Structure 1
Amino acid sequence: MKKDLRIKSKVFSEGSMKAPNRAMLRAVGVSDEDFKKPMIGIASTWSEVTPCNIHINDLAANAKEGAKEAGGVPLIFNTITVSDGISMGTQGMRYSLPSRDVIADSIETVVGAENLDGLVAIGGCDKNIPGCMIAIANSEVPAVFVYGGTIAPGSHNGKDIDIVSVFEGVGQHNNGNIDDGELRSIECHACPGAGSCGGMYTANTMASAVEAMGMSLPGSSSNPAETINKVNDCVAAGKAVYHLLEKDIYPKDIMTKEAFENAITVVMALGGSTNAILHLLSISHAIGVDLTIDDFNRIQEKTPHIADLKPSGRFVMQDLHRVGGVQAVMKLLYEAGYLHGDCLTVTGKTVAENLAEAPSLEEGQKVIMPFDNPKRIDGPLIVLKGNLSPTGAVAKVSGVKVKRHTGPARVFDNEKEATAAVMDNKINDGDVIIIRYVGPKGGPGMPEMLSISSILVGKGMDEKVALLTDGRFSGGTHGLVVGHISPEAQDGGPIALLKEGDLVTIDSDKKEISCDVSEDELESRRKGWQAPALYKKGVLGKYAHNVSCSSKGAITDFLTK
């Protein structure tokens, strides 16, 4: 006999005042017997606008099947997604980060308005994952996240390629290294089917972080999109939510400070995206965990980078899946003392209990390096501070040989003008490209700079010039780049006061970012500076007027918490 969870916890119990509620639900197929069961929402991010999400409609149906089999009444509803890869380098990229909050707010709205008892959220593209997780934190019902899974690599001239190969191909084409036909061939073979971008880019990074945090079932982050493993993930997630209801386990019981530390550790070990810092800060805010930007450096200093994954390495997520997946990496880290084993997870078991049942890495594999020969002895994501970024900037230094760079600032107030300068060969070796007024408020929306950073790679300039911005970088970005500079230019941060030719220094060993301009001179320049008018129209206008500093996660409800 299934436990009578619905009568215990929600509003559809017997009684005349509930008749209208039940009448509406009868019209969508809910029966008298169903009113005794928990209502479980299946939040789907299905869409035809991106390969990351095009298969999620079927996955939502699989999760519904699992929840129904376990004894719940599952109801599928949808939210939005946008494609970062498609909007990259255009004005559409301004909508990318705001979409995270639109996703979060829309899921929370449905869960709250419909009085749902539990939630399965299924996400694919970059902002789906943190958006779903913020919604899970704010909805405060038992929940499981399922990752839609990674895309298979494309193939070109016998080599694996992906979407980043296309961006870098543009730079090679501009440099005269490849012709039109070669660029088109790369374009046509980079994305062979459904799933999120294949390297350790933002989607795979955040999926790995959520699994490490205990909020998705073991294996969810590394099981590829178009496999039976992913179907099984979704069926199992539907069942798992019901069991969380039985055991009275809520997201706040799982998403503790130690769980976030596990997530950060796994991100560092895998060489994940800089966006992980932004998103983990926002999720921790939603759940009420005191995580700060300084916690990332603390964990970075003691966590080795052991995964040879793109963008700076050789392999993709599907390769990691074949040798044991994220669970095998977590098992390795746990046995070496890097993870908190006593954290609760959505299985109802602890991390240690889950890992006792997990496979070890395949013998002789090359994707994960041994602790005595890591990619780096510490993590590749670092937070830099200094007079150019008093509250913190973020760099990913995996594969970057240059530890310190000093050069003259080449200042641009938007990405378009900076990209044109690079394409027109107006940037010199040693320069420091500054792209400002593209932060959370100033963008608005803190757009990513994968296009220009990839062009620099394609032109062979990725370590000859530095690229600094108060905007963001894609998880596919690599090279001498620093993003999330805060305070942003729109708020009058020091980056707004830089002038052409000012000497700027990035020192990854000292974790410093500075300009050779005195405090007196900066203050003199500030007196003549005026903030541009904030954007006012539509969703971007709402975002610009409500978003916090990137060093706090670019959250939009910070005034009320």
Structure 2
Amino acid sequence: MRSDQIKRGVARAPHRSLLKADGITDEEMERPFIAVLNSRNDIIPGHTELDKIADAVKAGVRMAGGVPFEISTIGVCDGIAMNHDGMHYSLVSREVVADSLECAVQGHAFDGLVCIPNCDKIVPGMVLGALRVNIPTVFVSGGPMLPGVQPGGCGPTTDLNTLFDGAGKVAAGAMDEAELAYYENTACPTCGSCSGMFTANSMNCLCEALGIALPGNGTVPAVYSERLRLAKHAGMKVMELVEKGVRLTDILNGAAVHNAMECDMAFGGSTNTVLHLTAIAKAAGCPITMDDWEAASARTPHLVKLQPSGPRPLIDLYQVGGVPVVMGELAQLGLLDQSALTCVGPLPEYLEKCCKPADGEVCRKADNPFSPQGALKVLHGNIAPNGAIVKKAAVDPSMMRHTGPARVFNSEEEACAAINGGAINGGDVVVIRYEGPKGGPGMREMLTPTSAICGMGLSSSVALITDGRFSGATKGPAVGHVSPEAAAGGPIALIQEGDSVTVDIEGGALTLNVSEEELEARRAAWQPPAPKHNHGVLAKYAKMVSSADEGAYVS
């Protein structure tokens, strides 16, 4: 066992003494040591109940003959960090989580690992860290919160996005503050990751597609007792992987990444998944590019349309069978790599055990998709030579191609002030730049400006492009991850107020309608801005991070 490094032989007597100070017995010294990495805290609603998940995981480890040790790591709630200086730290936290996992697991020579994330950057952070240590690993999330309800219980369900849109409606005079207060008190009714196919739930679903989590990881509600049973089984499963010697990279490899990309396109996850899966693929030694994402989009049908792309809450997918149903439909089309290994077993075995037919409504059948192409779309052009991304499934059909005058802002705050001040008009193209991985730094999410545009009724007449990124809750013609970013001298830095910009989502193009001669003159005159942060973790991150099209990867 790997843990023999800290418990075998005369030279390890001091180590055993310290372990016995933890209450470890001689009998337990003979068993595998399992790290239970928990991101529980009191501030993130998706994490407040993770102590119960950890207790269940540890019970499962003990039932299967292992010795669990709980370890903590940090987390940042994107919703709470949104639209202020705190959002600079969200994507940065992905790397801190990865580093903390590596330090704790390597420092104590664990035999296996169970990761308990739930929200936003914590999930990919744990995946990146787990790939570095590469021991038998299982993921089990805390699960999604239940959706809220409209007054009287009728109408579409509500979620966090209802509040962001509501704030824009209040500013536009379309909603009063009393109505907003109702949603404030009801839209997030339980613990769990925000209801909807936002970033956290997208990544937790993709952990199933990657094969590193048991079926139900992404969809079983946080408050259901089924979630605790799932956690116990995760604890038992990691012991099985330890016994068989199945390491994380035996599961998470090129085949797994391919299958996750297919699922992502089919269920219309957050655009952040492109960032995170690209980084995960690089860490796993099977790098992917924006061209690979575009190829996945072209061949994969869109089968599931959940909030914010459609009216249904995430719990609807749970009720019809969850991620395995989507994978089953994709397998029928021959789109999954059958050589993949999952923590359940080889993929064919997984499909036979876990999948049931699609219901045809929540998850469309392969012969009747919402769209023959995937929910996410890659754009290129003279604004984004290295690519950009948009959630095509959440765009009104009338905005699939739009040309308008650029309204240029060098920060999210500047853009929000203009939008909320009524300075943006139908037909405009809002450009928010210097918010990329280096320029932000930290590539802030832009849910506040996109929600303000939607709340003011402009989502079918105004497009937005940025070198920053979007929350999974974002909808409308919002194009993010523009690469290269402005701070690196990308063409988005050269756009001037009033320039004609064309966003062609169906055609996959993002075009500044200015001559190449004019762009060259602007490029020669451009000067890089001074760093926004010159100390602390943000300054270090800005020096080390790669571009968005490379997953904002820190090596």
Q: TM-score under structure 2 normalisation?
A: 0.97
Deviation at 1:432, TM superposition (A): 0.6
Which residue of 536, 550, 553 maps to 2:551?
553
Match for residue 241 of structure 2? 244
Deviations 1:469-520 (A, max 9, x none): 0000010001011000011111010111111011111111221111012222
Match for residue 340 of structure 1? 337
Q: Give 1:129's aligned amino acid.
A: V
Does residue 271 of the first structure (1) align with residue 265 of the second (2)? no
Kept in 2: contact 1:120–1:144 (CA 8 A): yes
Match for residue 536 of structure 2? 538
Equivalent-residue separation in structure 2 for 1:32 and 1:482 (angstroms): 58
SS of residue matched to 2:402? strand
Please, which moves more after superposition, 461-470 or 151-160? 151-160
Q: Give 1:102's aligned amino acid.
A: V
SS of residue matched to 1:314? coil
SS of residue matched to 2:510? strand
Deviation at 1:240, TM superposition (A): 1.0
Match for residue 468 of structure 2? 471
Deviation at 1:359, TM superposition (A): 4.4
Which residue of 382, 388, 391 maps to 2:377?
382
Q: TM-score under structure 1 normalisation?
A: 0.96
Match for residue 87 of structure 1? 81
Equivalent-residue separation in structure 1 for 2:253 and 2:474 (angstroms): 30
Please, which moves more after superposition, 372-381 or 277-286? 372-381
Match for residue 260 of structure 1? 257
Deviation at 1:406, TM superposition (A): 1.0
1:144-155 pair list within 5 angstroms: 144-155=138-149
Match for residue 46 of structure 1? 40
CA change 1:552–1:10 in 2 (3 A) is farther
Gaps of 5+ in 2: none
Equivalent-residue separation in structure 2 for 1:141 and 1:502 (angstroms): 53
Gaps of 5+ in 1: none
Q: Give 1:542's aligned amino acid.
A: K
Deviation at 1:201, TM superposition (A): 0.8
Deviation at 1:526, TM superposition (A): 1.9
Kept in 2: contact 1:218–1:354 (CA 8 A): no
SS of residue matched to 2:149? strand
Deviations 1:49-88 (A, max 9, x none): 1111111111011111111111111100100011101111
Match for residue 365 of structure 2? 370
Deviation at 1:361, TM superposition (A): 4.3
How many correspondences in the alignment? 549
Match for residue 437 of structure 1? 434
1:386-425 pair list within 5 angstroms: 386-400=381-395, 401=397, 402-425=399-422
SS of residue matched to 2:482? strand
Kept in 2: contact 1:257–1:291 (CA 8 A): no
Q: Give 1:390's aligned amino acid.
A: P
Please, which moves more after superposition, 312-321 or 434-443? 312-321
Q: Give 1:382's aligned amino acid.
A: K
1:12-27 pair list within 5 angstroms: 12-27=6-21
Equivalent-residue separation in structure 1 for 2:219 and 2:320 (angstroms): 10
Which residue of 209, 234, 239 maps to 2:231?
234
Which residue of 349, 355, 363 maps to 1:353?
349
Identical columns (%): 44
Deviation at 1:366, TM superposition (A): 2.6
Q: Give 2:381's aligned amino acid.
A: G
SS of residue matched to 1:105? helix
Deviation at 1:338, TM superposition (A): 2.1
Deviations 1:73-128 (A, max 9, x none): 11001000111011111111111100111111101110011111110001111111
Equivalent-residue separation in structure 2 for 1:235 and 1:546 (angstroms): 39
Does residue 515 of the first structure (1) align with residue 512 of the second (2)? yes
SS of residue matched to 2:431? strand
RMSD of equivalent CA atoms: 1.3
Kept in 1: contact 2:387–2:549 (CA 8 A): yes
1:138-217 pair list within 5 angstroms: 138-157=132-151, 158=153, 159=155, 160-217=157-214
Q: Give 1:97's aligned amino acid.
A: L
Equivalent-residue separation in structure 2 for 1:184 and 1:496 (angstroms): 39
